[in-house]
Structure 1
């Protein structure tokens, strides 16, 4: 099937892009398609652990054109945001195809890209890649890891604190997920240890606009150089909430440096220290899910895809949203709009395409 644009992914960035494509006068299932591998609306949010209630979510920004209002802070974020995304798709008639796996994107000749999927092949003039990171959890590799007799799992598989009752748990990772997991697990576990590669930075007070721009600028610089992006959150520090203050006072957030090896019984440091463990929980983040773009050879020597705004420098037909500086809810919204503006210029250089009315 020939279309102008294929959007891959229906999380925050993908839905934002689809909304702006409609406003630009493109019709779903005629001019563009939105493909999503997830079984239902909600993006990565639908896979979050039940104990992550909406009230614990930091900085969820509404999608363009429709506010998220009246949400119950006590409900799981997966339910609240999943329902919101579903309503958004229906309200704007985005017609997301799911579940659809995008297997590869290749050069198709005649200026077209071939998007090979589980429901067939699309020939597109442009691609908006909004696949995020949830499908690529990062697992560090350390000596002795295969000998560990306990359980190892990643944030992507975190089931909530109940499964850790009475166990000795090592939580690895200094981000928001790691601290949230640790504080929950400490309530029920026999023993916990918190391990991070770098000392965490806790941020007092609200996060200002100037600080936000500086954080985004740091991530943008990496993608301009073709380096793998760091998330915006990784450079902003952790908010010092009342719950975090309590956990620090109780010693739950007493941090240990990264251990040097894993033993059958736990973890060990070269200075002779060790800690027994029944579970190692890797809250070590995610990497961009972009393997399907490999046939286009977009990566630079540094390992990342170099961007000019949202445009892949090596192929102007490809826009990446939710990647690097736009890997946050507010950044994803802005990136969706920017990507569509770039595609409008690509598809209609003379600017003759009629835009949709403001309510669409």
Structure 2
């Protein structure tokens, strides 16, 4: 069965919903195809203690403020899922799930979106699949011989699962610091990072980071010198649990080990640590395999874009993958602006084709 619409949005998480909001405001016909069984995007799979970096008032999608969570300054992941579920309903966004997109193909003047339950023909496509579904694991020697448990951020849930165990957490970003802080009290923790961890000032949260990212993009667009953006401030937001574990002396990072052994990890100088589990908090890559038929991939796996629009396929927009698709576009508060720009460009494209 083949369906037709003006725009297909691939992904029903925060970026896909923000796109849907602006497409609806412009009066365009569209559908949102989401591979997940329920609403909430990647937030429904987060570890139990995960909280936002920003208060609810600074964590909203366009059009509808996130309600304050009782007893919490920074809302937790369950609250975010509830908010995204309500957002879908409030704007009656046409989300179909679970629908897994297999590939996007050129079909004359249209794009054909192949799914496990039929095809869609569209005049434009917005890809908003994020990165959570493509965890990155570094090629560290010995991974295949380690007898303990290995898992990525996406598989971690709670410290009780590791109580009393020797756990190595790998990664100096926010996920690594937060999971290390989570485990610091009930496990024999070893936290390793590629470089000494850089904590942002304690009073900096997502509000300031969004402002910095936006100012950097504006400066680059105007031809000003590179300011470094958020990366110049540090790597780790000192959310309360991280700050408490750090101040208690429980977050002391070790340099990255050189290899895994059958029973643990080993450093270049021959020192070693035994481990029952290794948790790889080593980031993600854009989940773009569905766009492979278009042949657009460039350096580092990114598709070259101007704003959100693919350089070599103007009918395609990419939304929510990081700063290369809009300043802070992988955040709740940041995705609204590039979503609005993508929707407006698509409306202009469709009007020009009439």
TM range (shorter): 0.7 to 0.9
Q: Describe the shift of the 1:279–1:217 C-alpha distance in structure 2 as closer, same or farther (beyond 3 A).
A: farther
The alignment status of 1:57 with 2:52, answered yes or no, reads: yes
Structure 1 residue ranges without an equivalent (≥5): 221-230, 353-360
Contact 1:45 1:77 in 2 (8 A): no
Give the counterpart of 1:337 among 300, 325, 340.
340
Structure 2 residue ranges without an equivalent (≥5): 222-228, 324-328
The alignment status of 1:196 with 2:193, answered yes or no, reads: yes
Specify the alignment match of 1:349 in structure 2. 352
RMSD between aligned alpha carbons?
A: 2.5
Give the counterpart of 1:37 among 27, 35, 38.
35
Deviations 1:3-26 (A, max 9, x none): 110000111111010011110012
> Greater shift after overlay, 301-310 or 125-134?
301-310
The alignment status of 1:119 with 2:92, answered yes or no, reads: no
Q: Distance in 2 between matches of 1:185 and 1:284?
A: 17
The equivalences for 1:310-325 within 5 A come to 310-325=308-323
Q: Secondary structure in 1 aligned to 2:297? A: coil
Task: Give the TM-score, by structure 1 length.
Answer: 0.86
The equivalences for 1:31-110 within 5 A come to 31-52=29-50, 56-59=51-54, 61-73=59-71, 77-109=76-108
The equivalences for 1:89-168 within 5 A come to 89-109=88-108, 111-168=109-166
Q: CA deviation at 1:76?
A: 7.9
Q: CA deviation at 1:301?
A: 4.3
Q: Distance in 2 between matches of 1:94 and 1:182?
A: 38
Specify the alignment match of 1:19 in structure 2. 21
Q: Distance in 2 between matches of 1:161 and 1:82?
A: 22
Q: Secondary structure in 1 aligned to 2:15? A: helix
Q: Distance in 2 between matches of 1:202 and 1:24?
A: 42
Q: Describe the shift of the 1:219–1:194 C-alpha distance in structure 2 as closer, same or farther (beyond 3 A).
A: farther
Deviations 1:127-183 (A, max 9, x none): 000000110011112111111010001110112110110000000011111111111
Q: Distance in 2 between matches of 1:146 and 1:234?
A: 36
Q: Distance in 1 between matches of 2:98 and 2:231?
A: 29
Q: CA deviation at 1:51?
A: 2.3
Q: CA deviation at 1:241?
A: 4.4
Contact 1:232 1:328 in 2 (8 A): no
Q: Describe the shift of the 1:315–1:234 C-alpha distance in structure 2 as closer, same or farther (beyond 3 A).
A: farther
Aligned length: 333
Task: Give the TM-score, by structure 2 length.
Answer: 0.87
Q: Secondary structure in 2 aligned to 1:4? A: strand
Q: Describe the shift of the 1:73–1:279 C-alpha distance in structure 2 as closer, same or farther (beyond 3 A).
A: farther
Q: Distance in 2 between matches of 1:83 and 1:244?
A: 25
Deviations 1:288-309 (A, max 9, x none): 1001100101112453211101
Contact 2:9 2:31 in 1 (8 A): yes
